[in-house]
Chain A
Amino acid sequence: MSVPELVEALVAGDRERCVRAVEKVLQESEDYELILRSLAEGMDIVGRKYESGEYFIPEMLRSARAANAVMEKLRASMNGRGERVKAGTIVIGTVSGDIHDVGKNLLVTFLRASGYTVHDLGVDVPAERFVQEVEEKKADFLLMSALTTATRYAMRDVIKLLEERGLRDRVRVLVGGVSVNERFARELGADGYAKDVRSTISLLRKFSE
């Protein structure tokens, strides 16, 4: 179940229409889950349109900004009544720095738009910092990327350190980046591998089900 009007407005990147659609839902039911599901469905369509060449990065960002407006509306409507509107908490970072971290920044924008609380540690993140953040923020997911083959082994150190601290079972670890593939992810002991924004989000949702 989703709200067709919200999904459609999100795909079109029409922020005002999105907010109006959400207001309508909230008047009727305060069904936060329904809204989150609609956001995820809309963003998935946006991702497909990007893959097929119909959308480019500005069109994806237009929809992401509209989704963020919806999230703000939701938070305002909850007005601190205890329940938290979130799909999960994510700690994310790149183990080695690169000017080409556009992909990760886009992903962060998309994750926030899809309802996740995201702690972005940036680039060149040391293993200790990842683990500390996972513990402090009680993260559900840890997302790491490596952009060069030389540095991807740094992700193994992070997973080892999580095990040493007894945190490995509390967090799902997903890896990505141009230097990583499915097989390497398995060898590392990660829970999953995602090659792009859309596959990351669908993998996260699969884990949450």
Chain B
Amino acid sequence: MSPRERVEAVLKGELPDTVPVVPVVDGYHAPRVLGVPNWECFLNPDKMGDAILSALQHYGYDGAVVEMGIGYSGRVLGCRVEVEGKDVPLFVGNLIDTPEDLEKLQVPDPWEEDKMLPVEKVVEEAGDRYYILGAVRAPFEIACIVRGYVSLLGDIYDTPDFVHEIIERSEKITLELGRAMIEAGVDAILLRDSLASSSVISPGHYHEFAHPYEVRVIKEFRKKVRVVLHICRNATPILESMANTGADVLEIDSPVNLGEAKQQVGDRVVLKGNIDSVEVIERGSAEVVEEAVKECMQAAKEGGRYILSTGDSVPRAAPPENLHTLVKAGRKFGGYA
């Protein structure tokens, strides 16, 4: 099977030859493989595309996560972002401080300024052989960025209507950026709703401020492509609801018990995860990585519907050796023969 056939088989509920390996190697780690600073890739869409492609070829996993060019850094949302010299873009101030500022949040044109270039490049050069996921932020996550995390989370009790207004506007942005990804030819949308996590907001607030919007955008994207829903850190209390969003795949992070998740929702959705990208991939030894892969396989491989992955983005500082081990161990323990 080709890498792409392997992932497609899993999504159809069939058994592939071996568990697909699709770690989240995006704009944070991929530039290291290309040998350029992260910020150069954030500013240069052409280099970002090259970085994603180099990492894919270098490590030999089955699918790539690709983001928009400069758009990803938040500038596409109209935020002030410092990028130069940084491994991770830094947001300066909030775009929205008052209800009057809502007007500042406009739906951007995804095709302007070569924003879609990395996506088009990766699809064109690797799309026939590999599975390509286009990353898009969910409405609640965009709202957190433009209003500022602490401000928005504080508004939840003070001015819930204001919060909903920001999220509703953000929903239009999620939809527009997702449509552009689909037009560029990605196989699936990776819908990121990092802060909808039960490490941040209660399940009650998840159901009020994140879930309904996830459901709506997923319904729209599902008309054309598959959807992977990512929520950071602990999502155990909301797993059932995540499975009910209509997403094909849930990308779960390391605090979630993979075996229990498999029991709970594994018959309805594909699970993707959940190796700790910092404790295991960045800080662990090769043995630790291999052990983590083995545990994941024991917990979720049986019966298929499983993609081996990190629970979150791999940091730039992660030793390349550990990613090689991840892929190698994935093949060693992932076979369905």
Q: Name A's B-contacting residues (CB within 8 A).
A: 13, 56-59, 61-62, 64-65, 97-99, 102, 105-106, 109, 123-124, 148-150, 178
Q: With both chains docked as a complex, state the minimum distance between the C-beta of B150 and any C-beta of chain A, in angstroms.
A: 5
Given contacts A99-B88, A99-B91, contact A105 B150 (CB under 8 A): yes
Q: Which residues of A have CB within 8 Å of B200?
A: 56-57
Q: Known pairs A58-B157, A102-B150, A148-B315. 16 more at Cβ < 8 A?
A: A13-B157, A58-B153, A58-B154, A58-B156, A58-B202, A58-B205, A59-B157, A59-B202, A61-B157, A97-B86, A97-B90, A98-B88, A98-B90, A99-B90, A109-B154, A150-B317
Q: Which residues of B have CB within 8 Å of A65?
A: 154, 158
Contact B90 A57 (CB under 8 A): no
Q: Is B198 an interface residue, CB under 8 A from the partner?
A: yes
Q: Which residues of A have CB within 8 Å of B278?
A: 178
Q: Which residues of B have CB within 8 Å of A61?
A: 150, 153-154, 156-157
Q: With both chains docked as a complex, state the minimum distance between the C-beta of A150 and any C-beta of chain B, in angstroms.
A: 7
Residue in A closest to B149 when the chains form the complex, CB atoms: A102
Q: Which residues of B have CB within 8 Å of A56?
A: 198, 200-202, 205
Contact A109 B150 (CB under 8 A): yes
Q: Is B89 an interface residue, CB under 8 A from the partner?
A: yes
Q: Could you name 21 residue pairs across A and B whose Cβ atoms are closer than 8 Å?
A: A13-B157, A56-B198, A56-B200, A56-B201, A56-B205, A57-B201, A58-B201, A59-B202, A61-B153, A61-B157, A64-B154, A97-B86, A97-B88, A97-B90, A99-B88, A99-B90, A102-B150, A106-B150, A109-B154, A123-B90, A150-B317
The 3 closest A-B pairs by CB, nearest first: A61-B154, A58-B156, A62-B157
Q: Name B's A-contacting residues (CB within 8 A).
A: 82, 86, 88-91, 149-150, 153-154, 156-158, 198, 200-202, 205, 278, 283, 315, 317
Q: With both chains docked as a complex, state the minimum distance between the C-beta of A117 and any C-beta of chain B, in angstroms.
A: 19
Q: With both chains docked as a complex, state the minimum distance between the C-beta of A153 and any C-beta of chain B, in angstroms.
A: 14
Residue in B closest to A64 when the chains form the complex, CB atoms: B154
Q: Which residues of A have CB within 8 Å of B157?
A: 13, 58-59, 61-62
Contact A105 B153 (CB under 8 A): no
Chief secondary structure at chain B's binding surface: mixed
Given contacts A13-B157, A57-B201, contact A148 B86 (CB under 8 A): no
Residue in B closest to A56 when the chains form the complex, CB atoms: B202
Q: Which residues of B have CB within 8 Å of A62?
A: 154, 157-158
Residue in B closest to A124 when the chains form the complex, CB atoms: B90
Q: Which residues of B have CB within 8 Å of A58?
A: 153-154, 156-157, 201-202, 205
Contact of A99 among B89, B153, B202, B283 (CB under 8 A): B89
Give Cα A13–Cα B198 distance, bound, in whole angstroms. 20
Residue in B closest to A109 when the chains form the complex, CB atoms: B150
Q: Which residues of B have CB within 8 Å of A64?
A: 154
Q: Which residues of B have CB within 8 Å of A13?
A: 157
Q: With both chains docked as a complex, state the minimum distance between the C-beta of A101 and any C-beta of chain B, in angstroms.
A: 9
Q: Which residues of B have CB within 8 Å of A124?
A: 90
Contact of A57 among B89, B153, B283 (CB under 8 A): B153
Residue in A closest to B232 when the chains form the complex, CB atoms: A100
Contact of B149 among A105, A148, A150 (CB under 8 A): A105
Give Cα A98–Cα B201 distance, bound, in whole angstroms. 21
Q: Which residues of A have CB within 8 Å of B89?
A: 99
Give Cα A64–Cα B198 distance, bound, in whole angstroms. 20
Q: Which residues of B have CB within 8 Å of A148?
A: 315, 317
**Which of B88, B198, B315 gathers the greatest number of chain A CB atoms within 10 Å?**
B88
Residue in B closest to A53 when the chains form the complex, CB atoms: B198
Residue in A closest to B91 when the chains form the complex, CB atoms: A99
Q: Which residues of A have CB within 8 Å of B205?
A: 56, 58
Give Cα A124–Cα B90 distance, bound, in whole angstroms. 10
Residue in B closest to A62 when the chains form the complex, CB atoms: B157
Residue in B closest to A65 when the chains form the complex, CB atoms: B154
Give Cα A65–Cα B150 distance, bound, in whole angstroms. 11
